[in-house]
Amino acid sequence: MFGLGAAGEPFGLAFDGANIWVADDQAQGMLVKLRASDGAVLGSFLVGGTGPYGVAFDGVHIWVANGNNLVQVRVSDGSVLHTFPTPGTSAGVAFDGANLWIAEYDGKTISKM
């Protein structure tokens, strides 16, 4: 078991082939990168929004379902590349090999990007 610190509130997880990405601390809008081999924290990255919940890896980028946004993050350094508005409050994200799917709990909908 690995800890995220006193402020940690983990929600979603994604694996990029080497690291685990954790949607963490919804009040602060953080994404945490952990080394999968030993759980060492490699970085914490501010992704904004009302709280990151879901995380997905598309083979190139990390995607974070973050309130009314879907955030694209660079794997190498955790930089936010783009923020895309979503129709509702996004809580989950999945990648099917071609498309991103977003679960929006307030509208009770699933959207394809």
CATH code where residue 92 lies: 2.120.10.30
Q: Kindly provide the b/e burial profile for residues 50-69, where b requires at least 16 CB atoms within 10 angstroms of the residue's own CB.
A: ebbbbbbbbeebbbbbbbbb
Structure token pair of residue 111: 């959207």
pTM of the model: 0.89
Instruction: Evaluate whether residue 66 is within a structural domain.
Output: yes
Instruction: Evaluate whether residue 1 is within a structural domain.
Output: no
- Quick one: pLDDT at residue 59? 96
How many domains in the chain?
A: 1
- Quick one: pLDDT at residue 55? 96
DSSP state of 79: -
Instruction: Evaluate whether residue 19 is within a structural domain.
Output: yes
The segments of the chain whose pLDDT lies below 70 read 1-8, 25-27
Instruction: Evaluate whether residue 8 is within a structural domain.
Output: no
User: Rounded CA gap, 94 and 97, in Å?
Assistant: 9
Give the residue numbers spanning the domain of 81: 13-112
Instruction: Evaluate whether residue 67 is within a structural domain.
Output: yes
Instruction: Evaluate whether residue 41 is within a structural domain.
Output: yes
Instruction: Evaluate whether residue 94 is within a structural domain.
Output: yes
Instruction: Evaluate whether residue 40 is within a structural domain.
Output: yes
